[in-house]
Structure 1
Amino acid sequence: MSNKEATARIKINKLLEAAGWRFFAEGDAPANIRLEPSVTLKSSDLDALGENFEKTSKGFIDFLLLDAKGFPLIVLEAKSEDKNPLVGKEQARKYAKSQNCRFVILSNGNLHYFWDLARGNPYLITSLPTPDSVTGYQQVTPNPQRLIEEVVNDDYIALTLRPHYQSDAAWRNVAERPGYIQANKLRFLRPYQLKAVHVLQQAVQEGKDRFLFEMATGTGKTLTAAAVIKLFLRSGNARRVLFLVDRLELEDQAKKAFAALLSADFQTVIYKENRDDWRRAEIVVTTVQSLLFNNKYQRLFSPTDFDLVISDEAHRSIGGNARAVFDYFIGYKLGLTATPRDYLRRFDGSNGRTRDPREAERRLLLDTYRTFGCENSQPTYRYSLLDGVKEGYLINPTVVDARTEITTELLSEAGYAVTLADDAGNDQEETYKQREFEKRFFSEATNQLFCKTFLENALRDPVSGEIGKSIIFAVSQHHAAKLAQILNQMADRMFPAKYQSDFAVQVTSQIQDAQQFTITFVNNNLLGSANFIPAYKTSKARVCVTVGMMTTGYDCPDILNLGLFRPIFSPTDFIQIKGRGTRKHNFLEQLFDDNLKDSITKPQKTAFKLFDFFANCEYFEEEFNYDEVLKLPKPQGKGSDNGGDTSPAGVDGAYEHLGNDLIASLKVEQITQEGMKIDRMFFEKFEDSVRDNATIAAAVEAGQWDRVIDYVNREIFDKPHEYYSLDKLRKAAAVDRRLTLREILEKVFGLIPRFKSRDELLEEEFAKFVADTKPEGTAAIPAIKTFFKAYATSDTVRGIIESGHFTDLATNPYFSTRDFKAVPAKYRAMIPDYIKDYVSLNQFAP
């Protein structure tokens, strides 16, 4: 027996036992693992299982897993580590049918496939299911034909809300119908939403069980998801649905939406509020972070507890470790995303490629499309912002491009070098640079100029005439506090006696009740209501100043102004922020004085303004070429068409121009020797200090990682006595690669059991590659793996392969000419492309 065969056997045995399967009777519980009928097993034989385990005189040896009554339940076909488990597919199918088994598991100890013969194709699972979970799963016999043939019209949801609405007199009377719809809160699917459901039904007919809807912000993904949920539950293809969100505040929003749309037929609960009785509900809503916390998803759920898993904002809620939660559950999978596929185009990254925030997002999006089975990065269904605008459902912004001398200086290459990169946001060094970035360029006068320009040009409310409801996005919490103070001072002068420092409100993660502020702003009651007209319900607070809390999943249709008071380099962030204003709205719905309604000439929201002080729109809409290295607008200060005036713009010339040599002006703080003691106790003391911090613990459980990282950098790092820093923690962790602060905190709070080594990560990435590409034959797999690992970890090897100077491999100690020749020609080209698309090289850095 080879080492690979023995290793595979040992791994499979342990995985079975860990999942609750028994080789031997335990008390009153009989053994529920059986080998071929002709094979008997004694306790002393367990460690010796596998002496040429794939072959016996009578053929293949399979595991036969039994149900509680001793009847065959699952056939497990085992292969050695160097074989793709799918090679045993047909042998397992034949054996399963002979045993009247519906389920098959194919495994080589590292890769596992679960196959429901009643549904379709095998698909990858991350752990073996428990006996009880499969028995429960067996209770639902999917009937895809019923799902395909279910008639779904535009009133599919309305029929749940009011089954006999068509027979009501008020509905039949065309003049009364709009009032009837509003009074009964009937929801009808728009044509594009209806088409999304029909496309999904067609995909099921084609044998697919994973789907991805790419729908622009404001197009009603939740309503569409509700129709899909009803389709699966009503057709008997699901008995319970899991709806995953990526932020705590979206839990309640989703629960309320589904309760309003489907409560007549199905019950919706939030998991954390119904820990003991969530099984009574058909729809369970939770955050990915909640399930990850202390591996809750593995401890409290079985893989077959949910027959349909829907991931909202899919590219966020299945990123990183969250992917493990998503893959854990067996069943249909639907992803919802607002991020366009256009962001997938590759660009030349020869100049700092991995530092560009687009690279991390592109890879994440590619992984999202791959996860949902979308070949060639084509979603199951797409409805873009332009589609929505063209068909009259959404609004495009009116851009107010207001650049100052200082903000154009920020758009130089030097300025970009010190902004907070999305992919490196966990580094203390980068956060330090962000603070310097803010300090040196956001002077008081600059902020005053931004706020003055915003207030003088903002759209007014069509009913009350006050500044329309607005959201401003700041660089940091400190910057948000500055802006809110300035806006309140200016509002006091513009509208005497109307506001008492409640015109603008800071809404950031460190503000108490900030999450409630976002809700009351939508409900038009933030710090009061009806400030100008008593009969008009609109928020007294007109402007929310935030950093990142109100970017995704925030539905406030009466927003009239958005302010980009910071540069944005993430395409996803830009799309999401812009999407806060695209929804239409009728302001008369908030006016309760019929005598005033006739005087309102333009009650419909037909536009919103996007104030852009950093040329973000130009960058993304015009100059953002995904096939080139990052290029930013050039400064327009000296020498620009300004009549020869080279003085900086500002309020009465009141602020100082600090120049563009940012790195030279950074302050470096020397750490004393007292702070340089690195040992294991240092890491353990750090663990204790953050675990005992209630603010950090609450933010981690809520998945508010931006808040966590920011807090640790400000409040924990570089303080007297301990002088914690990211570099010290990396050394203390003694891992052979570069850990991020988020990884360290995930380990501290039990979201990951331990730090994976460099080689473990490589093995995982290669396993994904094998699962996706399914190499033919097995003889070349060792050579392919060697090339895969060398290309992913060695700058030298990548340089040789990219330049085509293959003779240099002759002197390369890590990957030789002989190694390269052993790789089939097909994979010499495939592996570099695959790694560029799907593998983050940062995780392998020493």
Structure 2
Amino acid sequence: MPTPEGAARQQIDRQLEAAGWRVQDHGAMNLSAGPGVAVREFPLKTGFADYLLYADGRAIGVVEAKPEGHTLTGVETQSLKYTTNLPDGLPHYHLPLPFSYESTGVETQFTNALEPDARSRGVFTFHRPDELIRLAQLDQQVRHHLRQMPTLDTTQLWSSQITAIENLERSLALGKPRALIQMATGAGKTFTACNFTYRLIKFAKAKRILFLVDRGNLGRQAHNEFQQFASPHTQYNFTEEFNVQHLRSNKIDPASKVVITTIQRLYSILQGEEVFDEEAEEHSAFESVNQLNKQPAPVAYNPALPIETFDFIVIDECHRSIYNLWRQVIEYFDAFLVGLTATPTAQTIGFFGGNLVQDYSHEKAVADGVNVGYDVYRIQTQITEGGAKLQREPGLFVPHRDRRTRAGRLKELDDDLTYTANQLDRDVVAKDQIRLVVQTFRDRLFTDIFPGRTEVPKTLVFAKNDLHADDIVRVIRDEFGKGNAFCQKITSKTTGRKPDDLLNDFRNSYHPRIAVTVDMIATGTDVKPLECLLFMRNIKSASYFEQMKGRGCRIIKPDDLQSVTPDAKVKDRFVIVDAIGVCEQDKTHSKPLDRQPTVPLDRLLKAVAEGHASADLATTLASRLARLEQRVTDEQHAPIIQHADGKDLTKLTHDLLHAVDPDAVREQAVQRFELGPDDEPSTQQLEEVERDSARQALKPFHNPRLREAVLTASQQSTEQVIDEISRDQLLDAGYSAAAKEKAQTLVSHFRQFIDEHKDEIEALKLLYSQPHRAGLRYRQVKELARALRQPPLSLNTDHPEQPLWQAYHALEPDKVKGQNKALVDLIALVRHAIEPATPLVPVHVQVQERFEQWLAERAAAGVTFTPEQRRWLEAIRDHIATSLAIEPDDFEDVPFSQLGGWGKAHQLFGDKLSDLLDELNGRLVA
């Protein structure tokens, strides 16, 4: 039996050979045997190197071997001695030798002495000989270039993006191996990544960079961003200057400088698979069906994808669990890790060593005008809150629907059916509940939610599952009286057109106005024109909910918004319509009991049959059994008890949960490893006990008859009852308390502002004057608007009147008469703030009323106007409504220039034109 050091050397030999090194004894060394030769026990001036590494016949590095479990930190001094102790005349690349490894065969660390402030770092295994030759022949190492990066061109960057790039490059220059960038959704994370990726390739001379995503559509979105990115240095697009490969096969192009792929495909490549199912990329990696085992993905060395393949790995949406289950895939490479997220969890920050180089929250982004804020509009119905009861009546046939096949049938209820809110859209579909929510949304859309609008804003509805999404789509089309194009389902199960094509239409075209999804558009997907999120499903995960909310916060240019929503002037907020109470319920960062809610029960049981065992698999199965126990009949339960040796579903569920209970696992670990009362089990010991305990608790399900009995009982319960009888009632619909509180704060600050500045700002002076003085001009309103955009109000929008108007509408809906349409509505807002008892009426409404009154007075005096004169008068009215006055110079602009200009107006009205304009200026905006 080999000694511990001998066993370590055997493992090191295997790893060196796998990486392309020929391992030889000193007495039989043959430097022509290959490009890389590792010579054991090589004699130096003093002592022996465990391995001396030759590349193309010249010494290039050393390996110091230690037994497994030996601490490698501090062994570097021994390796360093060997790198400087080479026999005279021995061919070499550099002296001291540039590369040294310390390894136990289980753990390996590497030092590149050519790097500035060289220090050891952990590596998965050894580099290939050609990689060490390449590094040895570089004029400067990448880490040296990182300390000489040119000044960042900030021309096209927001301040938050500048901070992120500069702080990241500062972190990289210090050699910190991991860095985390938190940037609010919509703050341009991918554009920021394109910028620093470009700089790392061009100026830091990075060989290749991996851009890692966990879902196919995010990879396509990232690839599009790289294609559109224009270099501030050369004006070429990124892809014109450097090869960017979006992997569609399992082969990396050697010429690629950026590789975009999913973590799923990357793992497939490491496993040596030549083909990978693209469908598997359309689901988030941490939601993947393949992760039933819930153990970190095992990784072995693949010479076709050596550890030096990438210098940097950018991990998009890294708040997800990809680095939990898949971290060995990421840590396989000898590369810097850069994480991008809008919602980091404590686990995320821990993985990146607490090195948060940018902390740019949604609140900061809203303050900077990079995001828009949101209001919550709550819809509460009786069935949504408390469920309902269906009474059994002889001869009354109730529709049922199979959740799997969607086949329907009519049958009598076996008994009265009382269902809870939690059973909605799973066990029971209450047609009127869905209909009432949609009707309320429709009826309040243009009065409360987006008052004054006529076009349905781009709206995203979150459904509970694919079947629920189908039901919602049908109801929305019916209640809005629109066709298929108006409302579309966009999920991974959408057929006919690809989900990406539908998503592109939702983003860039007029139709669809409303999209219904489950989770495909929940995170990471960019739909800038989106103005409304309708939640018809609950979310318990805090980070996931923040990501879903983030779909609505992206800013968009007014022209781009109007190209898909013609009557929208500007996007200065989005609205969450909460039909389920999702904004009111506490969120958790912990995992739910059902860790794999999208995995069918038969797949779970198949995994158990194949020998998989883990805490997550045990808790997921326990969750399904507990759910089944609530609805299984005695007849269905009997064979389960029989084939489980007398255990019923409650006992089976208890055993599974107890097996992975942290306290029970710790107690077993203490006993198994004979620890003292003050000793804590190691993570490795706890994992071993937990795995064994889960395997023991899952053993009953190795019995195929028990699995069959469970599936049979479950399948007999897959039908949904379609409740077409119960009538739902609207309990309440209105802005949430939080939205009203925010509105109240804004209104209070506005009132305080105008009171404090009534003697400084010209518009306020005129509006506060008693009696009111005439002569308020548009330039004075613009001056007021500029002041409102500055602190303390900081209304960072081209139309500061809009958030103020919306705030008053949320607080005083009965006093708000119409929707604001122009900047001059600041006048109405100030007047209402000064005299709160008066209604808040848009200027254009007042102008219209006074115009009609003026026409009536002229008609009573015997003055009539021709149809052409009326068109001119109406154009003059509309101009005054938006600009407060009209002057002769205005006749050179549209629409007057199109009607014939000043000359035509003078022809129509004669010498009375000037007096007419003065009269209208005075009457309409007095």
Q: What range is the shorter-chain TM-score in?
A: 0.5 to 0.7
1:580-595 superposed matches below 5 A = 580-589=551-560
Once residues 603 and 213 of structure 2 are traced to their aligned partners in structure 1, the CA distance between those partners, rounded to angstroms, is 32
Task: List per-residue Cα deviations over 1:684-714 (Å, max 9, x = no partner).
Answer: xxxxxxxxxxxxxxxxxxxxx98xx84x62x
Report the CA distance between 1:566 and its aligned residue: 0.6
Instruction: Please state whether the residue corresponding to 1:508 is helix, strand or coil.
Output: coil
Instruction: Please state whether the residue corresponding to 1:445 is helix, strand or coil.
Output: helix
Change (3 A) 1:121 1:743: farther
The answer on 1:397 being equivalent to 2:374 is yes
Q: Which has the higher strand share?
A: 2
Q: Match for residue 152 of structure 1?
A: 151
Task: List per-residue Cα deviations over 1:66-89 (Å, max 9, x = no partner).
Answer: 21x122233222111121222412
C-alpha contact (below 8 Å) 2:49/2:63 kept by paired residues:
no
Instruction: Please state whether the residue corresponding to 1:85 is helix, strand or coil.
Output: coil
The answer on 1:104 being equivalent to 2:100 is yes
Q: Match for residue 351 of structure 2?
A: 371
Change (3 A) 1:437 1:118: farther
C-alpha contact (below 8 Å) 2:5/2:65 kept by paired residues:
no
Change (3 A) 1:583 1:264: closer
C-alpha contact (below 8 Å) 2:542/2:588 kept by paired residues:
no
Task: List per-residue Cα deviations over 1:221-273 (Å, max 9, x = no partner).
Answer: 11211221122122234132111111111222111211211454632433435
Q: Match for residue 503 of structure 1?
A: 486
Q: Which amino acid aligns with 2:313?
A: V
Once residues 815 and 323 of structure 1 are traced to their aligned partners in structure 2, the CA distance between those partners, rounded to angstroms, is 28
Which residue of 503, 520, 524 maps to 2:508? 524
Which residue of 313, 317, 321 maps to 1:313? 317
Report the CA distance between 1:608 and its aligned residue: 0.9
Report the CA distance between 1:335 and its aligned residue: 0.9
Change (3 A) 1:12 1:820: farther
Structure 1: gaps spanning 5 or more residues: 40-56, 159-187, 345-365, 411-432, 493-498, 526-538, 631-662, 664-704, 718-723, 745-790, 801-808
Q: Match for residue 469 of structure 1?
A: 458
Q: Match for residue 195 of structure 2?
A: 227
Q: Match for residue 613 of structure 1?
A: 579
Cα RMSD (Å): 4.1
Once residues 554 and 463 of structure 1 are traced to their aligned partners in structure 2, the CA distance between those partners, rounded to angstroms, is 29
Structure 2: gaps spanning 5 or more residues: 25-29, 87-94, 231-235, 273-301, 388-419, 622-658, 696-926
1:177-216 superposed matches below 5 A = 188-216=156-184
C-alpha contact (below 8 Å) 1:35/1:63 kept by paired residues:
yes
Q: Which amino acid aligns with 2:477?
A: N
C-alpha contact (below 8 Å) 1:79/1:88 kept by paired residues:
no
Task: List per-residue Cα deviations over 1:375-409 (Å, max 9, x = no partner).
Answer: xxx51221101110122211121111223344445
Report the CA distance between 1:545 and its aligned residue: 0.6
Q: Match for residue 446 of structure 1?
A: 433
Report the CA distance between 1:152 and its aligned residue: 3.3
C-alpha contact (below 8 Å) 2:614/2:691 kept by paired residues:
no
Task: List per-residue Cα deviations over 1:724-766 (Å, max 9, x = no partner).
Answer: 5533541x3345656749999xxxxxxxxxxxxxxxxxxxxxx
Q: Match for residue 114 of structure 1?
A: 110
Q: Which amino acid aligns with 2:11?
A: K
Change (3 A) 1:319 1:392: same
Q: Which amino acid aligns with 2:141?
A: P
Q: Which amino acid aligns with 2:257?
A: E
Once residues 223 and 328 of structure 1 are traced to their aligned partners in structure 2, the CA distance between those partners, rounded to angstroms, is 27
C-alpha contact (below 8 Å) 1:237/1:307 kept by paired residues:
no
Instruction: Please state whether the residue corresponding to 1:225 is helix, strand or coil.
Output: helix
Once residues 605 and 485 of structure 2 are traced to their aligned partners in structure 1, the CA distance between those partners, rounded to angstroms, is 42
Change (3 A) 1:583 1:320: same
Change (3 A) 1:608 1:9: same
Q: Match for residue 819 of structure 2?
A: none
Instruction: Please state whether the residue corresponding to 1:7 is helix, strand or coil.
Output: helix
Report the CA distance between 1:300 and its aligned residue: 3.6
* Count of matched residue pairs: 570
Report the CA distance between 1:796 and its aligned residue: 3.9
Is the deviation greater in 2-11 or in 272-281?
272-281
Q: Match for residue 40 of structure 2?
A: 35
Once residues 233 and 139 of structure 1 are traced to their aligned partners in structure 2, the CA distance between those partners, rounded to angstroms, is 18
TM-score normalised per structure 2? 0.55
Instruction: Please state whether the residue corresponding to 2:529 is helix, strand or coil.
Output: coil
Once residues 563 and 361 of structure 2 are traced to their aligned partners in structure 1, the CA distance between those partners, rounded to angstroms, is 35
Report the CA distance between 1:519 and its aligned residue: 3.4
Report the CA distance between 1:302 and its aligned residue: 2.2
Q: Match for residue 269 of structure 1?
A: 244
1:639-678 superposed matches below 5 A = none
Task: List per-residue Cα deviations over 1:396-433 (Å, max 9, x = no partner).
Answer: 211112233444458xxxxxxxxxxxxxxxxxxxxxx9
C-alpha contact (below 8 Å) 2:462/2:535 kept by paired residues:
yes
Task: List per-residue Cα deviations over 1:122-154 (Å, max 9, x = no partner).
Answer: 222223332234334545532545434434345
1:13-92 superposed matches below 5 A = 13-24=13-24, 29=34, 32-38=37-43, 59=47, 61-67=49-55, 69-92=56-79
C-alpha contact (below 8 Å) 1:5/1:79 kept by paired residues:
yes
Instruction: Please state whether the residue corresponding to 2:494 is helix, strand or coil.
Output: coil
Change (3 A) 1:205 1:142: same
Report the CA distance between 1:307 and its aligned residue: 1.5
Once residues 560 and 47 of structure 2 are traced to their aligned partners in structure 1, the CA distance between those partners, rounded to angstroms, is 74
Q: Which amino acid aligns with 1:233?
A: I
The answer on 1:304 being equivalent to 2:308 is yes
Once residues 135 and 607 of structure 1 are traced to their aligned partners in structure 2, the CA distance between those partners, rounded to angstroms, is 56
1:247-646 superposed matches below 5 A = 247-262=215-230, 263-264=236-237, 266-273=241-248, 278-293=253-268, 295=270, 298=302, 300-316=304-320, 318-340=322-344, 343-344=345-346, 366=347, 368-374=348-354, 379-409=356-386, 438-440=425-427, 442-458=429-445, 465-492=454-481, 499-512=482-495, 513-525=497-509, 539-589=510-560, 603-619=569-585, 623-624=586-587
Identity of aligned residues (%): 26
TM-score normalised per structure 1? 0.60
Q: Which amino acid aligns with 1:64?
A: L
Q: Match for residue 50 of structure 1?
A: none
Change (3 A) 1:799 1:729: closer
Instruction: Please state whether the residue corresponding to 1:211 is helix, strand or coil.
Output: strand
